[in-house]
Structure 1
Amino acid sequence: MSWQQAVEKTVTGMGYELVDCGRSPGGLLGVFIDRVPERVYPSGPGEFITVDDCELVTRQLQLVLEVANVDYGRLEVSSPGLDRPLRKAADFRRFAGSEIDLTLKVVFQGRKKYRGLLRLAEPAADSEAAPQADSFELVFQDGKEDKVLGFTIEEIREARLVPLVDFKKKRKNAGEDAADKTQESGGHEE
């Protein structure tokens, strides 16, 4: 069994999804894990990987890699990040409805890079056949109109989720905290 197979078998056996793994020349073995939406985890409910999840997987991988006699300098287990890569058909199906950045292998209509809303491919209006299982669409803005780019996984070089960060919510909560402190101190700001 190769080290990649050992990592994948361990991670999936623990109920996590293996997003990616790789080795660097300096001896770093990097493993990126994600939660499977319908599963309950020991670290508690939620849709994001926690430090506890990473620690749990790290401990198990250290044992497995030692038994498998895999030589590495350092093991790093982490989440795939807010800009999670999409590689498998299951990734594209799971994140349908999300905004993604897509880079094609070959130039199409003068460009390779697109940003838009990912969706499952719909059958052509004049066809009763279902779309291919691994066919997807990207709805993107071209000028002032929406366009649809159909693609398969084999046609893409890279696809990533577009990070969604809501700074307004954080600022609003910070403003509420400041107002609470003002009220607690008798109306005077500290």
Structure 2
Amino acid sequence: MRSPDPVQLADQLRGVLEPVVHGAGLEIDAVEVRTAGRRHAVKLVVDLPETSTAAGIDLDDIARLSRTAAAELDPHEHLIEGSYTLEVTSPGVDRPLTTPRHWRRNHLRLARIRFTDGDTVEARIGDASEDRVVVAVPGKKQPERREIAYTDVEHAQVQVEFKAPPQSEVDLLAATDGTDSTSANEENR
């Protein structure tokens, strides 16, 4: 019997795992299936809901979800032919920003953005709607406010910073998205 297409299998597994993940108070970010012969590796990437104010997912929560997800997959082993390993993880800082939710979760973080025309810019993330994001591009004197359509972005990724964002960028973004710059700055510390 032929193994199912990894993309199709990932979609089926998403349907099986979604109630378990939601029951744990999390959301599925991605389900990936890699196949090598009759062996499969299932990677379940989960994230906090967009409305969550928590800073991250606790490792104990990941461990509990891993056990629950494995138990949920057992009765559905007919979907996965052969043996499989299950990896449950949260997205790392290297996760590309591919959905509006990713942009919103990284409000006031610095991102490297590569456009479809090949240009690249580093910019601080502001308000993100369903089709575009407002950013503050650092300048020599003052940051510049720009709106970027997601369709113009080829790749975007959060950059690791070891200091608080410049107040001028926070203020510019607060003026455009209605955020209180003082509380936004406090939240990012």
Q: TM-score, normalised to structure 2's length?
A: 0.63
2:116 is the alignment partner of 1:98: no
Inter-partner Cα distance in structure 1 for 2:94 and 2:160 = 5
Instruction: Identify the residue that residue 124 of structure 2 maps to in structure 1.
Output: 117
- Any runs of at least 4 consecutive aligned residues in structure 1 with deviations exceeding 3 A, and if so which? 36-40, 141-149
**Change beyond 3 A, Cα 1:76–1:164:** farther
8 Å Cα contact 1:37-1:47 kept in structure 2: no
Instruction: Identify the residue that residue 65 of structure 1 maps to in structure 2.
Output: 73
The one of 25, 36, 61 equivalent to 1:15 is 25
What does 1:68-79 align with in structure 2 at a 5 Å threshold?
68-69=76-77, 70-71=79-80, 73-79=84-90
Deviation at 1:118, TM superposition (A): 0.9
What does 1:90-169 align with in structure 2 at a 5 Å threshold?
90-104=101-115, 106-107=116-117, 111-120=118-127, 133-141=130-138, 146-165=143-162
Inter-partner Cα distance in structure 2 for 1:8 and 1:86 = 21
Structure number with larger C-alpha Rg: 1
Instruction: Identify the residue that residue 35 of structure 1 maps to in structure 2.
Output: 48
Say how many residue pairs are matched: 147
8 Å Cα contact 1:140-1:146 kept in structure 2: yes
Deviation at 1:135, TM superposition (A): 1.7
8 Å Cα contact 1:139-1:149 kept in structure 2: yes
In structure 2, stretches of 5+ residues that fail to align are 1-10, 164-189
SS in 1 for 2:160: coil
One-letter amino acid of the structure 2 residue matched with residue 30 of structure 1: K
Q: TM-score, normalised to structure 1's length?
A: 0.63
The one of 11, 16, 27 equivalent to 1:6 is 16
SS in 2 for 1:49: coil
The one of 44, 62, 84 equivalent to 1:54 is 62
8 Å Cα contact 2:31-2:42 kept in structure 1: yes
State the identity %. Answer: 18
One-letter amino acid of the structure 1 residue matched with residue 20 of structure 2: T
Inter-partner Cα distance in structure 2 for 1:76 and 1:56 = 12
RMSD: 2.9
One-letter amino acid of the structure 1 residue matched with residue 42 of structure 2: L
